Amino acid sequence: MKNITFEKYQGNGNDFVVIDSRGNDLYKNYKTNKIFDIKQICNRQFGIGADGVIFIEEPKEDNYAKMIIFNSDGSEAQMCGNGIRCLVEYLHLNDSMNNKNIEYKIETKAGLKIAKYINDEITVKMGVPILECQNIPTTIEKKINSIPSHEFIEKDFNNMGYAVGMGNPHLIFFVKDIESIILSRLGPILEKNELFPEKTNVHFCQILNRDNIKVKVWERGAGPTLACGTGACAIHVAAYKLGLCNSQTIVTLPGGNLKIDWSKDDCEVMMTGNAKKVFSGSMLVN
Ligand SMILES: N[C@H](CCC[C@H](N)C(=O)O)C(=O)O
């Protein structure tokens, strides 16, 4: 057994255990010998408690660092919008640079992402979105219709969903009354379906006005979370393509607001939000 240090961060309440694996073999040892169990670490009763674990690795190219992100169920994801802001805040607080004017070039499974401080918030170039399909085949309709109506949600929920890729998959529904959505009922049903062989993140959105979208999030591999950065980007893209919002919106999540800027198909989505250190700690691993 040995003691390793970690730091806990959160972005709009979406929280992560950050493990710096630069200059040591922590990530390699995790991958080869499972020196700890991510589910246990993320467990909010018996572990540290988090929506996921982020390893920081040395970059492959001439970039600042590499981000590897795991959901709380232990599944690896391609990208994490709140997580990359937490990683940048970690780098800013721990690296000697301590310079808020640099561009942080971070390698991820969804490609290179560039982040920069603007005042006390962090803006990330989140990549060019992929509009995967305009509506949901009958498989999902059948699943939704299989729920007894008394357990169901608002009356006018029409299973017209939108799939948008931000390096990771997102299934988006626009509803008239978001408070009527029973996330715990619909999230698990929609997270796993044939349209998404690797499962998907699920979002229910209410357009408050052309500058503001209110959201409830069910994350792949994590369940209900307070915020999803890649999800906020995907939601803005779907709403803009449907003519429901302006080119810049505030996406209001249960854990706080994210500012999203996007209007041209071949452009990167820009996401701006906070990231805060919660505490440092250490844990015994095998
Ligand atoms: N659950 C996501 C990964 C975390 C994304 C989310 N926390 C964000 O801020 O983008 C997935 O499996 O694709």
* Domains of the chain by residue range: 2-127+274-285, 133-267
Pick the CATH number of 133-267 from 3.40.50.880, 3.90.1150.10, 3.10.310.10, 3.20.20.140: 3.10.310.10
Could you confirm whether 228 is annotated as catalytic? yes
Q: Which one, of 167, 218, 166, lies nearest residue 193 by Cα?
A: 218
ipTM of the complex: 0.97
Is 200 touching ligand 1 by the criterion CB < 6 Å?
no
Contact (CB, 8 A) for 107 and 60: yes
pLDDT per residue, tens digit, the chain (286 aa), is: 899 999 999 999 999 999 999 999 999 999 999 899 999 999 999 999 999 999 999 999 999 999 999 999 999 999 999 999 999 999 999 986 667 788 999 999 999 999 999 988 999 999 999 987 555 544 455 555 555 554 444 444 556 788 899 999 999 988 888 988 889 988 998 898 777 889 999 999 999 999 999 999 999 999 999 999 999 999 999 999 989 999 999 999 999 999 999 999 899 999 999 999 999 999 999 8
Q: What is the pTM of this model?
A: 0.93
Measuring from atom 7 of ligand 1, which residue has the nearest CA? Answer: 228
Q: Residues annotated as binding site for substrate?
A: 14, 71, 81-82, 168, 201, 219-220, 229-230
CATH of region 2-127+274-285: 3.10.310.10
- Catalytic entry in 42, 86, 205, 228: 228
Which residues make up each annotated binding site?
A: 14, 71, 81-82, 168, 201, 219-220, 229-230
User: Distance between CA atoms of 253 and 261, rounded to whole angstroms?
Assistant: 16
Q: Do domains 2-127+274-285 and 133-267 have the same CATH topology?
A: yes
